[in-house]
Amino acid sequence: MYHDFNYEATLASSLRAQWQLDDVLREDQDLDFSRNFLPESLARTAQLTGLNAFEQKTLNQIAAHEYLVMFAVVEEFILPFLLDHARPHLLDDDWRVRALLNFASEEAKHIHLFKRFHAAFVRGFPVECQMIGPSEAIGAEILRHDPLAVGLVILMIEWMTQQHYLGSIKDNGDIDPLFKSLMRNHWIEESQHAKLDTLIVDALAEGRSEAEIDKAVDEVFEIATFLDGGLKSQAEFNVEALERAINQTVLNREEIIAQQHQAARWTYIGSGLVHERFKATVENISPKAAARFAEAAPIFA
């Protein structure tokens, strides 16, 4: 086997690592808007030399708001996906049932946490930051696909959160400590989700022919194209929010939107697509599928 994940051990790790909402972000807690929130490797706002330092930081904060609201959107469709996956086998394996329901419960807690962050952001940020949505419509569009395709997209997302925290947040001295701790706590629980999702994808792929897997990969690309369209609209919304915040139009507007769209492609798709663990799962299912993802990866770099 290409991994040693199992439901019993993963549930035990999850239960040991669990935290309470108030330990991470109290309802009345305020964010420190004098700092960047997102690491530069994800936000890429410091590279925008046409903007001054204040404008770069403001756009960084808008991108951070996008990040956590986007994760709430994603977790809203992970929740029904998990319940649907668990439901047909509620009496088979106790460890599996408990691990999947605990996974769902943690995602529900994360959605709650991200809503709290959103409220704190709205309290402290001078203008409204428009988001794509509604989240129900995004979720419905994704969930209408083959569960294997949805499972692969979720697996990619779970591993990307690992890459984001370990690769660019953990040792970052630049960003707001509260935002950093929020990301750390999310990462702790997500590290078990990524293992459970690996088991889910393995189960969904079992017994499928090469043609069926190929078709599921087509659907992963459909979902990625749909998400990418959303990311482009979101980049436009973010620049509009920046303009409202600084009360003027930015120069090189289209260039900034394109650059921020590319940053989001890496953040939400590319960084998961190239994760070694994600690649290992896909390679195990189908080397052809792995080659198709590897070929597409540079678009999302």
CA 212, 213, 218: angle at the middle one, nearest 5?
A: 95
* CB closer to Fe ion out of 78 and 242: 78
CB of 92 to Fe ion, least distance (A): 23
DSSP for 78-139 reads: HHHHHHHHHGGGTTT-HHHHHHHHHHHHHHHHHHHHHHHHHHHHHHHSSS-------HHHHH
Cβ contact 62:31 at 8 Å:
no
User: How near is the Cβ of 23 to Fe ion at its closest, in Å?
Assistant: 16
Strand partners, 175: 36
Smallest distance from Fe ion to CB 21, Å: 13
Binding residues for Fe ion, per CB under 5 A? 110, 190, 193
Question: Considering the complex, what minimum distance in angstroms separates the CB of residue 212 from Fe ion?
Answer: 26
C-beta of 220 vs 239, nearer to Fe ion: 220
Nearer to Fe ion, 44 or 110 (CB): 110
Q: How far is the CB of 103 from Fe ion (least distance, A)?
A: 7
56 or 185: CB nearest Fe ion = 185
Q: Which CB, 270 or 272, lies closer to Fe ion?
A: 272
* Contact residues for 260 (Cβ-Cβ < 8 A; gap 6+): 44, 45, 59, 63, 235, 238, 239
What would the two tokens of residue 37 be?
A: 């929130």
Query: Nearest distance from residue 46's CB to Fe ion, in Å?
Result: 27
Helix H or strand E encompassing 262: helix 253-265
Of residues 46 and 143, the one with the C-beta less far from Fe ion: 143
Nearest CA among 231, 221, 72 for reference residue 145: 221
CA dihedral in degrees (190, 114, 227, 157; nearest 10)? Answer: 0
Report whether 230 contacts 131 (CB < 8 A). no
